[in-house]
Amino acid sequence: MTRHTTRMLIIGSGPAGLSAAIYAARAGMEPIVVQGLQPGGQLTITTDVENYPGFRDVIQGPWLMEQMQAQAEHVGTRMMWDTIVEVDVESGPPFVARGDSGDEYVGDTLVIATGAQAKWLGVPGEEALSGKGVSACATCDGFFYRGKKVAVIGGGNTAVEEALYLTNHSEDVTLIHRREDLRAEKILQDRLFAHPRISVLWNKRVERFLGDPLQGGLTGLQLADTVTGEMSEFGCEGAFVAIGHAPSTELFKGKLEIDANGYIVVAPGTPKTNRPGVFACGDVMDHTYRQAVTAAGTGCMAALDAERFLATLEYVRNEQQAAAAE
């Protein structure tokens, strides 16, 4: 077992964690980033990214994350191939985390950037056609379906917002829901029902995504009626699964304040959790925006606030040492 110590321990290597690392390393904090099972985060499972500032042409998600990692390492970040399996946020600072490897990571400050994962239906064709017509992010991918027929699956706020957003690009949007009542707020429902380019298919469950990933991608959905059991096919070129997101907060349950949807609660407008010295950034604390650029922005905020926290902590420690020496 090796014990790694740092002034800033960052859990997660998506845009939030790596942005925090870049700021922390440039401030001389010699941060450690524990990368987890998905080094580079969610953008490594997508292809085209067109909305990250700084690039006129389309860039690839995995490439963008390689650049962020290279920059973080170049300025002095230590990257660890490990996954945190246990963390003590209660008795720090310093905060102690244990990796799957058995190694221990000790940080004077802790930045949580463990992200979130979109929930998927888990039916045939979904994984194979992901990025080839199947998506879980209209803001990210809606642009690629300009003028095309698209479906949104789900009945909550996210699904209704995705459907409304997609009307910016598509002439023909269908919301497909497994029941005949939406869970979404009434104001959103009113907007949905009033929209001339949105239709709703009630009581339908997606059984299969149809199409060939190597030849044109998604062509439609096989649907089952949840009341009659009748099967049907629905033709579309894009399908957006919007059945919710699961933030990666298992490690922190009962240790940090977490909201009803599982997201880490931060003080409004800041990355500060309810534990001094522990900060959260990116999708793990943000169920509203969920974008690479917002994750990077809150990563920057976490590093700056951690730096300030550390300055205060070091000042207090020095004072205490001076008093003890007298």
State the residues that interact with ligand FAD by CB under 6 A.
Answer: 11-17, 34-39, 41-43, 45-46, 49, 51-52, 83-84, 113-116, 118, 136-137, 140, 248, 251, 282-284, 290-293, 295
**156: contact with ligand NAP by CB under 6 A:** yes
- Minimum Å distance from CB 85 to ligand FAD? 7
* Partner whose footprint covers residue 126, from ligand FAD, ligand NAP, none (CB < 5 to 8 Å by kind): none
Q: Is 157 a binder of ligand NAP (CB under 6 A)?
A: yes
Strand 104-112 relative to strand 278-280, pairing: parallel
CA angle 36, 245, 266 (to 5 degrees): 75
- Counting contacts by CB under 6 A, is residue 244 touching ligand NAP? yes
Taking the least distance from each CB to ligand NAP, the nearer of 31 and 244 is 244
Contact call for residue 154 and ligand NAP (CB under 6 A): yes
190 is catalytic: no
Query: How many Å apart are CA 44 and CA 27, to the nearest integer?
Result: 27
43 binds, options ligand NAP, ligand FAD, none, Cβ within 5 to 8 A by partner type: ligand FAD
Select from ligand FAD, ligand NAP, none the partner in contact with residue 238, using the beta carbon and a kind-dependent cut-off of 5 to 8 Å.
Answer: none
Say whether residue 168 binds ligand NAP (CB under 6 A): no
Is 281 part of the annotated catalytic residue set? no
Residue nearest to ligand NAP (CB): 156
The residue annotated as part of the active site, out of 100, 103, 137, 225, is: 137
- 255 part of the interface to ligand NAP, by CB under 6 A: no
Residues that bind ligand NAP (CB under 6 A): 121, 154-159, 161, 178-179, 183, 243-244, 261, 287
Q: Which residues are catalytic?
A: 137, 140-141
